[in-house]
């Protein structure tokens, strides 16, 4: 396929509202995850690993941290002369994107101007290493207009805010319904799809779609009979970020080797901004087990079943268990943390005990001092 | 081309033969250091932190890995449209060409590169040392003293002085004599191999040196003595922070473990003077339930289930359950299998140490020269239950149960 045959669009604010404490001042796309990443790294890396280098990012609000993270796009090899990263900020007289569809309409110029035949669209609240090359290939082979990525699951627990696909034996979509938690097993959408450019342009040019709020819910069902809609199965690890609990669980899943091997597939690496930290330093009082730890930390206390981002400090006698500590968090002597999600640069002073529970983690805000 | 105040020329062509198998496939400046760095990261980061954005890297020996590592210079912010980093290998001209005959000849052959930037000063660096230094201070001393050449020096213990090039200076720091490895040193100011030249003078003496058929074309042996003979003003610039030549196996091992020594201050992520490196896209490290890690540095992509003490694990190292690594450095991609013990060793890249193998031994202070650091070369496989003694340098696979 020629170099510019496929362009892509990433929605940076998908499901922002469902993770309120952590996305108060940032978009879903820039939510820190897994020790050194931000959620958008997964979408960007998936696209780049499929050779896609013309990517539009639709932003709505709170996108300062996202811009800071992406910079020129160099970390994803997206500082290109042709294509590269295009941030598509809201511009419509103060109105911000209401939903997926309206956002896409705003991106219409980016899509129509781009010299592509296919457009991949990605939500940013999904953690998965998806083989986009295989998705595009299947789309071409099946002569589809739209191909939607799904994950088979035995229950809808992790997929409550997604759609369920009913497929025929050729993976053609027969029915598209909102997932509901009573469903026993099904094919759940992951917010990733590939469109033939003409199909996408037709849909977003139609006046009757203009009031629709949700693309999957309000628009796509109308096209089932006259557009070739197919499903593409992703059978690897998936986590959908739709509440604090899912964020906590998805991070903890990284402690499993099979999850890491799938998500950080050596053939399709996940790229992120580098920080030039030293390796992590373990002191003579360090006692660390079952933890996922980024570079630049200095650990002289106890860390168990936790995820530590870059530059975290755990001092002598401090105990961190079942917790997620984002970049630059400092835990002073003899503080005790259990089931805590701490946002960036929070400071936990000596001897403080902080605990959440396995049902609801205690959340510390950015720069908070305790 | 805009004029540059100072251009750096980095001598990176040396073979580093005293590092043996560690430089079998790569030039010494490309040897990994400190978990995620390579030796050349130090002069390159020092350059950019000192405001020098034009660097010529003189390569000759096994340049593939080094060229690949430098790439466009992006990790050091040296990808510039004006200046930036340039790899300068020996080349052929109309009248033929030659390998670099010595350090001075390497720079002589690239005078054309320097002239494009028309700099006032040229700083000559080498890719063999671990240190953080603000070259801009040295350049400004050079400028205010009006010297033709300023040489960075540091004090070494007198009993070691005869291993170095020693500068004998007046009380104001002017060099009146240079002695290469003197038997009876008159001073303990050792040359660090860092020179700031006024470019006109450098050019003059390099051309004269080239015309002198008897010269070995070396800065220390030929150019500096020639300048002294001509009564040029040479000044010593004193440096007193951490500096280590990593030319031998023992010094490379020591320089790594110095990062764990609380008495030595070498912070490589100081926001005011970061050491930059090219990094791979790797996930964070995983320390498992069975791991016991203390007093060590561990970096991205590692998976540790064994015991690690006073050691440095580079990228993507795996240490399985029941294995131990002590007082050692393990370079990228190596695997230490179940029950294996590695101590007082340097394990190079992509080595597999088989189950229950033993590599290296504790120091024997009465054993004289027999004890030393054990080195396993890149890509070597050490079989199950093998035993490798002190000071060995392993260049071929070791079979199961073998004792060396």
If residue A336 lies in a helix (H) or strand (E), which one and from where to where? strand A336-338
If you average pLDDT over every residue of chain A, what do you get?
A: 88
- Say if A252 is an interface residue toward chain B (CB within 8 Å): no
Angle between helices A40-49 and A132-141 (to 10 degrees): 60
* Predicted confidence band of residue A183 (pLDDT cuts 50, 70, 90): low
Q: Tell me, yes or no, if A225 comes closer than 8 A to chain B by beta carbon.
A: no
Q: Are residues A239 and A253 in contact, defined by beta-carbon separation less than 8 angstroms?
A: yes
- Asked if residue A350 has pLDDT above 70, the reply is yes
pLDDT at A182 over 80: no
User: Which among B348, B306, B345, B344 is positioned nearest to B331, based on CA atoms?
Assistant: B348
Share of chain A above pLDDT 90, in %: 56
- Hey, is the C-beta of A291 within 8 angstroms of any chain B C-beta? yes
DSSP assignment, residue B14?
-
The stretch A300-318 carries a mean pLDDT of 96
Among residues A56, A76, A78, the alpha carbon closest in space to that of A124 is found at A56
Give the burial string for B242-274 (b: 16+ CB within 10 Å, else e): ebbbbbebebbbebbbbbbeeeeebebbeeeeb
| Contact status, residue A38 vs residue A266, Cβ threshold 8 Å | no
**Quick one: pLDDT at residue A99?**
62
Its pTM surpasses 0.80? yes
pLDDT at A345: 94
Instruction: Give A147's pLDDT tier (boundaries 50, 70, 90).
Output: very high
pLDDT of residue A241: 85
Q: Scan for tokens 């669209």, then name that residue.
A: A121
**Alpha carbons B155 and B395: distance in angstroms, whole number:** 37
For the stretch A161-176, pLDDT in tens is: 788 888 899 999 988 8
Q: With an 8 Å Cβ cutoff, are B284 and A292 in contact?
A: yes
- Give DSSP secondary structure letters for B297-319: EE-TT-EE-SEEES-EE-TT-EE
pLDDT per residue over A82-130, tens digit each?
Answer: 889 998 887 654 555 566 667 777 788 899 888 899 999 998 889 999 9
Cα A115 to Cα A83, A106, A120, A133, A140, distances in angstroms: 10, 18, 14, 19, 17
Give the C-alpha separation, A298 to A313, whole Å.
5
pLDDT reported for residue B1: 56
* Whole-number Å distance between alpha carbons of B260 and B222: 39
Residue A16 has pLDDT above 70, yes or no: no
Tens digits of residue pLDDT in A207-226: 777 777 777 777 888 888 88
Of A62-66, A283-287, B47-51, B219-223, where does mean pLDDT reach its minimum?
A: A62-66
Put residue B333 in one of left, alpha, beta given phi > 0 → left and psi -120 to 50 → alpha: left
User: For A12-16, A136-140, A171-175, B305-309, which range has the lowest pLDDT when averaged over its residues?
Assistant: A12-16
How confident is the model at residue B209, as a pLDDT?
92
In chain B, which stretches have pLDDT less than 70? 1-2, 367
pLDDT at position B237 is 96
Confidence of residue A136 (pLDDT cuts 50, 70, 90): very high
Residue A98: the pLDDT is 60
Mutation pick from A252, A268, A276 vs chain B, by most beta carbons of B within 10 Å, is: A276
Which residues partner with B335 through β-bridges? B318, B352
Burial class (CB in 10 A: 0-12, 13-18, 19+), A288: buried
* Chain A interface includes B42 (CB < 8 A): no
The answer to whether B369 contacts chain A (CB < 8 Å) is no
Alpha carbons A254 and A25: distance in angstroms, whole number:
25
Question: Across the A/B interface, how many CB contacts are shorter than 8 Å?
Answer: 107
């Amino acid at each position: 396929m020629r170099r510019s045959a496929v362009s892509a669009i990433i929605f940076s604010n998908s499901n922002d509202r469902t993770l309120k404490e952590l996305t108060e001042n940032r978009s879903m796309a820039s939510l820190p995850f897994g020790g050194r990443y931000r959620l958008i790294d997964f979408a960007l890396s998936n696209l780049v690993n499929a050779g896609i280098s013309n990517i539009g990012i639709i932003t709505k609000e709170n996108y300062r941290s996202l811009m800071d993270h992406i910079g020129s796009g160099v970390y994803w090899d997206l500082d290109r002369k042709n294509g590269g990263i295009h941030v598509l900020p809201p511009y419509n007289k103060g109105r911000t994107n209401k939903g997926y569809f309206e956002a896409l309409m705003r991106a219409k110029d980016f899509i129509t101007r781009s010299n592509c035949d296919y457009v991949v669209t990605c939500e940013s609240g999904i953690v998965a290493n998806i083989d986009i090359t295989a998705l595009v290939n299947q789309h071409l082979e099946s002569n589809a207009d739209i191909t939607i990525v799904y994950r088979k699951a035995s229950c809808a627990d992790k997929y409550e805010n997604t759609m369920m696909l009913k497929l025929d034996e050729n993976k053609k979509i027969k029915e598209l319904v909102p997932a509901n938690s009573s469903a026993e097993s099904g094919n759940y959408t992951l917010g990733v799809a590939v469109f033939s450019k003409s199909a996408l342009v037709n849909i977003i040019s139609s006046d009757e779609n203009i009031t629709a709020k949700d693309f999957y819910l309000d628009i796509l069902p109308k096209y089932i009979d006259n557009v070739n809609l197919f499903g593409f199965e992703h059978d690897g690890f998936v986590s959908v970020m739709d509440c604090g609990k899912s964020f906590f669980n998805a991070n903890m899943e990284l402690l499993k080797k099979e999850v890491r091997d799938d998500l950080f597939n050596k053939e399709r690496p996940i790229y992120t901004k580098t920080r030039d930290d030293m390796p992590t330093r373990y002191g003579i009082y360090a006692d660390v087990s079952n933890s996922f730890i980024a570079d630049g930390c200095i650990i002289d206390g106890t860390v168990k079943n936790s995820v530590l981002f870059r530059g975290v400090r755990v001092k002598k006698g401090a105990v961190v268990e079942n917790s997620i500590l984002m970049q630059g968090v400092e835990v002073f002597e003899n503080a005790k943390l259990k089931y805590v999600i701490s946002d960036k640069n929070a400071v936990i002073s000596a001897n403080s005990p902080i605990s959440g529970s396995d049902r609801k983690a205690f959340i510390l805000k950015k720069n908070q001092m305790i | 081309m805009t004029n540059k105040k100072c251009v750096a020329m980095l001598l990176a062509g040396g073979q580093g033969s005293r590092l043996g198998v560690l430089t079998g496939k790569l030039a010494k400046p490309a040897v990994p250091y400190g978990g995620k760095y390579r030796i050349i990261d130090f002069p390159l980061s020092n350059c950019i932190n000192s405001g020098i954005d034009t660097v010529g890297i003189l390569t000759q020996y096994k340049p593939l890995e080094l060229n690949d590592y430098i790439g466009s210079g992006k990790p050091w912010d040296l990808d510039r449209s004006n200046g930036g980093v340039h790899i300068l290998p020996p080349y052929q001209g109309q009248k033929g060409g030659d390998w670099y005959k010595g350090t001075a000849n390497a720079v002589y052959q690239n005078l054309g590169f320097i002239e494009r930037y028309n700099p006032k000063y040229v700083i000559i660096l080498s890719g063999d040392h671990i240190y953080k230094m603000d070259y801009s201070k040295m350049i400004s001393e050079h400028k205010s003293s009006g010297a033709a050449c300023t040489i960075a020096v540091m004090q070494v213990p007198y009993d070691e002085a005869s291993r170095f090039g020693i500068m004998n200076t007046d009380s104001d720091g002017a060099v009146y004599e240079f002695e290469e490895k003197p038997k009876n040193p008159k001073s303990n100011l050792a040359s660090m191999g860092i020179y700031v030249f006024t470019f006109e003078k450098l050019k003059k003496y390099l051309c004269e040196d080239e015309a002198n058929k008897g010269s070995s074309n070396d800065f220390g042996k030929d150019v500096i003595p020639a300048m002294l003979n001509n009564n040029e003003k040479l000044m010593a610039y004193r440096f007193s922070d951490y500096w280590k030549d990593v030319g031998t196996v023992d010094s490379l091992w020591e320089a790594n473990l110095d990062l764990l020594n609380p008495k030595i201050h070498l912070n490589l992520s100081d926001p005011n003077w970061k050491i930059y490196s090219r990094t791979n896209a790797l996930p964070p490290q995983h320390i498992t339930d069975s791991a016991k890690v203390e007093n060590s540095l561990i970096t991205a992509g590692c998976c540790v289930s064994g015991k690690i003490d006073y050691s440095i694990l580079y990228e993507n190292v795996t240490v399985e359950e029941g294995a131990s690594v002590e007082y050692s450095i393990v370079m990228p991609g190596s695997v230490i299998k179940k029950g294996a013990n590695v101590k007082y060793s340097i394990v190079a890249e992509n080595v597999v140490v088989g189950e229950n193998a033993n590599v290296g031994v504790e120091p024997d202070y009465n054993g004289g020269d027999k004890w030393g650091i054990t080195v396993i070369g890149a890509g070597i496989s050490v079989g199950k239950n093998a035993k490798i003694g002190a000071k060995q340098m392993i260049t071929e696979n070791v079979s199961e149960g073998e004792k060396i």
